[in-house]
A and B are shown apart, each in its own frame.
Chain A
Amino acid sequence: MWAYVVRRLAYSLVIILGVLFLLFVLFFLVTTPDDIARKAVGEKAPPQALEQWKKNHGYDKPRFWNREHPADSMLVDHFRRMLTFDFGNSDADDTPIWRRLRSGAGPSLSLTLPLFALGLLLTIPLGLLVAFFRETYIDRMGVVLCVLAMSISTVLYIIGGQYLIARVLRWFPISGFDPSPVVIGRFLAVPVLVGLLAGVGDSVRFYRAVFVEESGRDYVRTARAKGCGEARILVHHVLRNSLVPILTQVVVVIPSLVMGSILLESFFGIPGLGSITVDAINANDFATLRTMVYLGSLLFILGQILTDVSYTLVDPRVRLE
């Protein structure tokens, strides 16, 4: 297994280099440093100000190859800084990006962790329930409801959920954030509920499909022939044997929880990494955006590795080789 993990890590490193190269193409070739500087300093800024800004932000180096100092070009710089997590300063207001990341991770996690955990607790039992009633009207109704729920745009869940829960029912504050443990729940309630609703259709349908597929296997027939009850079959046999597809879906997102939710955070005023990303869009802050895409990819790749490892924990037949 360790040989596998090492090989897997090596391939991941290659992928990370690919991601970095793609980011270089996007942020240094498609958009040129001149574009970035002009957006930061202003269209009508004098050329000297532009040059000064580029110099301050390291955008004035040769793009690929510096003949005098081979290790001092934007390409080399980009790779070196990203790989050593030296993200530098924001293009918009020169705050260190690391400071932003540190300040945003907590609020992001306080939103996404409950959302993730409650989502699993809600959707897997619902999926089992619908699968329990498969090929009856309840099942068909469930599937139709899922399709209906999936057809509503996330942004509508956000507007509608906030209107209903915070304005009409007045259960919780409309938006805002306060990290003190006494009141944090009140501020997170609406975004978590909205996030749960927005994802429920997709997930329940997926879990139902997994459970129904698994219910067609021979061992289920055997269990039924032994006189095992249908509910017991679902929970003890089907659920356990469905863990591999479930883990594939679930584990991969765990590291990315730190990145928060772009839509929920920006709308409900939670100062997490999602909000920071939206601010970066509005401020044309390419350095922060670049960092976010890089970190997101890194965490996603980590999630993929964890997924592979998690298979060995639930399925003794899986050997990572």
Chain B
Amino acid sequence: MEPYLLSNAVVVVLVGGLAAALASARRSRVWRDAGRELVRRRPIVLAVLLAYVAIGLLDSLAWVSGSSAGTTQGADTVSIHKPRSAIDRLFPDERYREKSYSAPLADREFLGGAPLRHPGRHLLGTDLLGRDVLYQTLKGARVALLVGGFTTLIVIPLALLFGVVAGYFGGRVDDVIFFLISTLASMPSLLLLIALIMVLGRGPVQVCVALGITGWVGFARVVRGETLKLRELDYVHAARALGASDARIVLRHIVPNLMHLVVITFVLTFSGFVLAEAVLSWLGIGIDGSWGRMIDQARDELSRDPIIWWNLVSASVALFGLILAVNLLGDAVRDILDPRTLRERA
């Protein structure tokens, strides 16, 4: 199978899974009310996030347009046969790439002043290699969502598994898992991240895995603590007295009562992972095409004279907007779902 079909399939599976999770959450009153409350409190934040997700999705499904095959010659044939996403199709292809910098909305090159190759103007200008900045910025949304989302998908099952097993079974099992958690927690996270990426190699999957390995520990601790509390509750004792198996108790009575923590953690850690990727890009071991990489490439452009600001500003604003939206959403989600805060406010 073509690689782009595979990555399309991954996106479809992810979106399908998310839709299924939302559908099953809608069936429970608690979650439905929480969702309504969230929409009521943070309509703008949700709209902004949806826009980011929409851009990411538009860029995730790629296809090959077959109609013009064979009509062009040489290098152009290659570029036409490359799968392109909806975002790619909005922008003129490689043939119209500029030579170097051009300012936003300029009609000529920044250095030298030759007319642009591309008909029309670049809304946010072009970078050192003549690539459209708006295009790159939009492409960055997919990378950021992937880093945040994919890493969280590694973290949550790992943390739930270890946290619940440690908390529920206790004893030796707990000792071993707690030792593992303490060991990982004793290593400075940035240094461990760097070491992991150096050892695993550079690349998007490696970065996500490294972030996942350093990121699950904190949540596993929370899950363990909560499970310790939950397993002493009356309904768990009742279930055990009725002869329910451990697996049934864990799956039916413990895990559903941890789900609010899962949702809160998903939102709260998401921005941390995206920001960590920016730091890794800064150190030269991030993911190609991320906003962090754009910022890293633009780091010396402010010291040019006349300064070149559009690369840095575009990537920074896009990154800042996503993180701010996620942070605001995270606060709202925590306020709504965390019963402790609810009690305090009442």
The answer to whether A and B assemble together is: yes
A binding-site residues for B, Cβ under 8 Å: 14-15, 18-19, 22-23, 26-27, 30-31, 147-148, 150-156, 159, 163, 167, 174, 216, 256, 259, 262-263, 266, 277-278, 281-282, 284, 286, 289-290, 292-293, 296-297, 300-301, 304
- C-alpha spacing A117/B96, complex, angstroms: 54
Are A289 and B183 within 8 A (Cβ)? no
Does the CB pair B194–A167 fall under 8 Å? Answer: no
Interface assignment of B187: CB less than 8 Å from any CB of chain A: yes
Does the CB pair B303–A289 fall under 8 Å? no
Q: Is the CB of B186 within 8 A of A300?
A: yes
Interface residues of B in 276-308 (CB under 8 A from A): 278-279, 281-285, 292, 295-296, 299, 302-303
Please indicate the chain B residues that have their CB under 8 angstroms from the CB of A31 in the complex.
Answer: 198-199
What does the 1/0 interface line of B301-321 toward A look like (CB < 8 Å)? 011000000001000100110
Contact A14 B278 (CB under 8 A): no
Min distance, Cβ B290 to any Cβ of chain A, angstroms: 11
- Which residue in B179, B188, B278, B302 is a CB contact (below 8 Å) of A163? B302
- On whether the beta carbons of A286 and B302 are closer than 8 Å, the reply is no
Contact present for B283 and A278 (CB under 8 Å): yes
The A contact surface, by secondary structure, is helix
Q: How far is the CA of A152 from the CA of B274 in the complex (A)?
A: 11
Interface majority SS (helix, strand, loop, mixed), chain B: helix
Q: How large is the interface on B (under 10, 10 to 19, 20 to 34, 35 or more residues)?
A: 35 or more
Structural contact, A293 and B191, CB atoms closer than 8 A = yes
User: Which residues does chain A contribute within 8 Å of B320, judged by CB atoms?
Assistant: 151-153, 156
Of A163, A292, A301, the contact of B186 (CB 8 Å cutoff): A301
Kindly list chain B residues whose C-beta atoms are within 8 Å of the C-beta of A18. Answer: 179-180, 182-183
**Which B residues lie within 8 Å of A174 (CB)?**
303
* B158 on interface, CB distance cutoff 8 Å: no
The reply to whether A159 and B275 form a contact with Cβ atoms under 8 Å apart is no
Q: Which residue from B186, B196, B316, B319 sits with its C-beta under 8 Å from A26?
A: B196
Is A153 a contact partner of B199 (Cβ separation < 8 A)?
A: no
CB–CB A15/B182 < 8 A:
yes
Cβ-defined partner of A153 (8 Å) among B182, B195, B198, B275: B275
A-B interface, 3 closest residue pairs, ranked by CB to CB distance from nearest:
A18-B183, A151-B324, A296-B188
A residues within 8 A CB of B282?
155, 263
Q: What total of A-B pairs shows CB separation below 8 Å? A: 117
A163 cross-chain contacts in B, Cβ below 8 A: 302-303
> How far is it, in angstroms, between the C-alpha of A263 and the C-alpha of B278 when the chains are bound?
11
Q: Is A154's CB under 8 angstroms from B279's CB?
A: yes
B271 touches A (CB below 8 Å): yes
Contact between chains at B199 and A27 (CB < 8 Å): yes
Q: What residues on B are CB-neighbors of A277 within 8 Å?
A: 191, 194
Residues of A close to B199: CB separation below 8 A:
26-27, 30-31
Chain B contacts for A282, CB-based, 8 A: 284
Pick 15 A–B contacts, CB within 8 A, sort by A: A22-B187, A27-B199, A151-B320, A152-B316, A153-B292, A155-B296, A155-B299, A156-B319, A163-B303, A167-B303, A281-B283, A284-B198, A296-B187, A296-B188, A300-B188
Complex interface: chain B residues within 8 A of A286 (CB) = 198
Residues of the A chain whose Cβ atoms lie less than 8 Å from the Cβ of B296: 155
With A30-B199, A154-B279, A293-B191 as given contacts, are A14 and B179 in contact (CB-CB < 8 Å)? yes
Question: Is the pair B192, A293 in contact by a Cβ cutoff of 8 Å?
Answer: yes
Residues of the A chain whose Cβ atoms lie less than 8 Å from the Cβ of B331: 147
User: Are A153 and B323 also in contact (CB < 8 A) when A14-B179, A277-B191 are?
Assistant: yes
Residue among A22, A26, A151, A155 making CB contact with B295, cutoff 8 Å: A155
Does B25 belong to the interface (CB within 8 Å)? no
Let me know if A15 and B299 touch, CB within 8 A. no
Give the contacting residue for B323; candidates A19, A151, A259, A301; CB below 8 A. A151
Q: Is B2's CB within 8 Å of the partner chain A?
A: no
Residues of chain A within 8 A of B281, CB atoms compared: 155
Contact at B198–A281, with CB atoms within 8 Å? Answer: yes
Query: Which single residue of chain A is at the shortest CB-CB distance from B194?
Result: A281
Q: Determine whether the beta carbon of B187 is less than 8 Å from that of A300.
A: yes
Q: Which residues of A contact B196 (CB under 8 A)?
A: 26
How near does chain B come to A111, taking the closest CB pair, in angstroms?
16
B188-220, CB under 8 A of A: which get 1 and which 0? Answer: 101110111011100000000000000000000
B344 contacts partner chain A, Cβ-Cβ < 8 Å:
yes
> B278 near A155 (CB under 8 angstroms)?
yes
Contact A292 B191, beta carbon cutoff 8 Å: yes
Min CB–CB distance B194 → chain A (angstroms): 6
Could you say which residues of chain B place their CB within 8 Å of the CB of A151? Answer: 271, 320, 323-324, 327
Complex-state Cα separation, A140 to B265, whole angstroms: 24
Residue pair B292, A289 in contact (C-beta under 8 Å) = no
B182 CB contacts on chain A under 8 angstroms: 15, 18
**In the bound complex, CA of A163 to CA of B194 (Å):** 27
Give A174 to B302 CA distance when docked, in angstroms. Answer: 12
When chains A and B are docked, how far (Å) is the Cα of A297 from the Cα of B182? 11
Q: Which A residues touch B188, using CB under 8 A?
A: 256, 259, 293, 296-297, 300
The residue that B319 contacts in the complex, of A15, A153, A304, with Cβ under 8 A, is A153
A259 — which chain B residues lie within 8 A by C-beta?
A: 188, 191
Q: Does B328 contact A (CB under 8 A)?
A: yes
Per-residue CB contact flags for chain B residues 160-199 toward chain A (1 = under 8 Å, else 0) read: 0000000000000000000110111011101110111011
Known A-B contacts A22-B183, A282-B284; the reply to A30 vs B312 at CB < 8 A is: no
